[in-house]
Structure 1
Amino acid sequence: MTEIMENLSVDGISGAEIKCRCGKMHKNQIKEIIIERGALAKIPDIIKKHGGSNVYVIADRNTYAAAGETVCKNIERYNLPYSLYVFDSERIEPDELAVGKAIMHYDGKCDFIVGIGSGTINDIGKMVACITGKPYMIVATAPSMDGYASATSSMIRDGIKVSLGTVCPCVIVADTEVLCNAPKILLQAGIGDMLAKYISICEWRLSHLITGEYYCEEIASMVRNALKNCMQIESLEFTEPDDIKPVIEGLIISGIAMSFAGLSRPASGMEHYFSHLWDMRAIEFNTPSALHGIQCGVATVLCLRVYEFIARLVPDRKKACDFVNSFSLKEWNRFLAGFLGRSAEGLIELERKERKYNPESHAKRLDIIVNNWDEIVKIISEELPPAEQVEKYMKKLGMPTMPKELGFSDGEVQGAFLATKDIRDKYIGSRLLWDLGLLDEAKHVCRSVW
């Protein structure tokens, strides 16, 4: 496994299938990853190598200018037939309309799909590949998110943000010269998405201890190593294009880690749910929102402060039980409906299946929490840096660190914090605080200005 981890930090990797010490067979469906200066010139050969003879290229205005035009010219020189669809909107939402447009412009003769872009284009491209059954390659234009290597798409369906199973790209191409020229805010978003891994790995370990959830130390180490390499970046003004490699490699490795684990645990936790909730409110109420990675970076600082609060606690069994016994699910659902609008129903339905608020389930978790409190605090101290340290690093890169900078009020921040425990069937920091009966007391940590 160690050798594979080392291979994952270099420019190319073949599909991997590893028997791990955790007992699972880890699989990676990506056949090739190219991360180097001048990689766009290799794309026609890569397409042919992986069986493509007629190409469908998807881009938006910005990504076409950044790399799409060059890719198309290179394809033409190789006399490969292709069709091109460039979204004409300034802002594209990954929704039914966008997927419909991409499908409506798809030529049935095409046998290979190429997405040119990052988050939204990649999500749409994977949807099109899933629908058509054709192999898919993503040409990265910015190191802005960790979804390049995942087999899911973050979409808006019926006005609600959802994660849908799609396909994993068979090839990822990242030309470092293109990545370095990406808008600085996209570079910052990539750093923010990587910073989130501090929280995700910590919460994965905590959940393993408290709920018995599957955990793989090898995968966790892989993500930690990628994060460590990424945090060596001291400036977003790159003197050499290849200096950006640690960021894009870290983001791709995070996606591969999710594939190996078969779940999103290695790469997302409470901090991602802040971002999802802010996005959901933006869709419903037209409130502010920012790039996913930017929101994740700000939320990571919030989560680090929450965990600093948790680490200072001493569990009080009676207080926890009194809180749970007085908890009103009906009142909580009413809050969710007011805070999220239509999308609250999905969270309410999840609880009907999950029953995390069930007193008997709570009692079992509370026993484990109280009996293992020293180990919980140890995990937090081992995995998480001080919030102040991360905030200082982000400021050095010109990144926002406070919710207020993104336009969020204290109410939006604290409401999102309370609701993070309901987004997915995943044990995270806000669930731990609910189990302790201290969720309301902790929300004062989450505010727009410190």
Structure 2
Amino acid sequence: MSQRVVITGMGVMTSLGKDLDTFWSNLMAGKSGVSVIESFDVSEYTTRIAASIKDFNPEDYFDRKEARRMDRFVQFGCAAGLMALKDAGITIGENVDPESIGVYIGSGIGGLGTWEEQHTILLEKGPRRVSPFFIPMMIANMASGQLSILTGAKGPNSTTVTACATGSHTIGDSMRLIMHGEADVMICGGAESTIYPIGLAGFCAMRAMSTRNEEPEKASRPYDIDRDGFVMGEGAGVLILESLEHAQKRGAHIYAEVIGYGRSGDAHHMTDPDPDGAARCMARAMKDAAIEPEAIDYINTHGTSTPVGDKSETIAIKKALGDHAYKVAVSSTKSMTGHMLGAAGGVEAIICALTLQNGMIAPTINLDNQDPECDLDYVPNVARQANVNVAMSNSFGFGGHNATIILRKYEA
């Protein structure tokens, strides 16, 4: 018999807050984390805004030597991971066997800032001046690697890179590792930091981002008729997954149970989503959870605020849930956090867990004039009190990668 898997700890690093309480409070208030980019000159860019994390000091979490050897995405992932372990009341080697706890933190892009910095040094000063830490700082697996080194976690250690589906894939794969008895505890989620000249330029060239530069807080507007693209975010969302038996033995607080995981590939287009692939992903997650569509009370959507993406996901939800799609509450918290790319799935799973615990649904802000082709209940602008027993989180990535996680309110 496979293990039941529960969430016992969570940590966030976002533009809305660098701890759970601040983050949740700002979500419930419908606050936007989007502002004008100040970390470099954006005057020549078509998009000049992002959901940047302000006043982040890595030395609040690691000593200076360690921090200098980490890319910013690794710093975010490790900081959120340490917060999640503290929230779960876990001290590895004391109340958890080091060999039974693993790390699975993904990143959609990895150390883009380090890459850009060291490439500039190469061009300006030559190859002998490139840092010996360039490669180990930049590669996408280093949030998992560094966190295991910092904490002593010796169990399964891996990384997923599936663009914007990354965070959800790490949670689902970690659930399976626990269910199959390969670990008792997994530290999982996603981390991302791409708000750099090259990252901004790349997305601008795709014409994928909002150019509502004069009104940053209103730029991310999923399902609104006037949406014009996504807003880049950064940060991390890390969860502690644990077998129910292990959690009960140590008297852990349980936020929610992870009951379903679905994966699919569009096999369609590099960047243009196919609603059939997303619908199959949701259906597989519901089958895995052994529930019918009518059991779903809330969906945290991928909802990026792109004209094509929001419409495609709306179609997919209706395909997967049938008539129940019109009865379920749906919201996109990217309207507030921006699109955190590989970190999005981790953060949004945390939002779902807090929704189950607190009985409050985060709104889709800036939804002032709903697109007629996006015709579901998107919880516009104001948080809503509701009894949510089952929540679904969707994440879809470039390349046609789809991931869906289903959480349920914990019952012993």
Scaled by the length of structure 2, the TM-score of the pair is 0.30
The structure with more helix, counted as a fraction of residues: 1
The structure with more strand, counted as a fraction of residues: 2
